[in-house]
Structure formats: C-alpha cells, structure tokens
Amino acid sequence: MSNSCKTCVEVEPNIYECICQREPKTQDEKYAVMVPFDGDMLYVTEGDSKFQLREKLFDTRQKAVDHASLWGENAVVVEWLPVPNTNTPKEKA
C-alpha cells in the first residue's frame, strides 16, 4: 500500500499509526479512520448535515480497524489528536 501521509508508520499489515503530533498515551485515547482523497488523507466523518460534520471516533483500535475495512485497502487507522481551538476569545488582562 502506498501511504501519502508521510508521518504514518505501519504497525500491522495495512494498519498505520500517525506519529506526526505524538503525545503521551492517555485513558481518553481515541482512534479515527483516514482515507485518501485527491492526493491528501481525509478523516472519515459523521454528522447530521454538511455543516455539522466531525471526525468519526472510536474508543478502541479494533473498532477503528473494523470500520476501516469498509473503506477499502487504502484506509488508514490513526490515533486521533484533538486540535486546540484557536478561535476562543482571550480574556483581557
């Protein structure tokens, strides 16, 4: 399999783990599935409308692997790392 995410490593055959922003493992660890699209890797999403989409997250790697199998051989399971919200208003000093 050709994996376009340059920071993912193969941990099992056809199962990759993204290490681009690796942090210490926590109890709240989540997994997501990424699929190739137009030269990039995109998260598989869920939501009730095109304006309310979010990453589809799984509590265990096995659940994510099971879901990734629905997306074909190029689907990648990654450890999901939340992006900090930088649009939050800052308090004035």
Size (the chain), residues: 93
- Residue 59 in domain: yes
Q: Could you tell me which residue, 66 or 21, shows the higher pLDDT?
A: 66
Residue 93 belongs to a domain: no
Model confidence pLDDT, tens digit, residues 68-85: 999 999 999 999 877 666
- Counted domains in the chain: 1
Any domain includes 22: yes
Look at residue 62 and tell me if it is in a domain: yes
The answer as to whether 12 is a domain residue is yes
> Which tokens go with 67?
């879901």
Task: Kindly give the residue spans of alpha helices, DSSP state H, lying in 3-78.
Answer: 61-68
More confident residue, 2 or 80: 80
Percent of the chain with pLDDT over 70: 59
For every residue of 15-41, DSSP letters joined together read EEEE-TT-----TT-EEEEEEEETTEE
pTM, full prediction: 0.61
Phi first, then psi: give them for residue 82, nearest 5 degrees.
Answer: -65, 145
Are the C-beta atoms of 44 and 67 separated by less than 8 Å? yes
Tokens found for residue 41: 């890797």
Domain that holds residue 23: 8-80
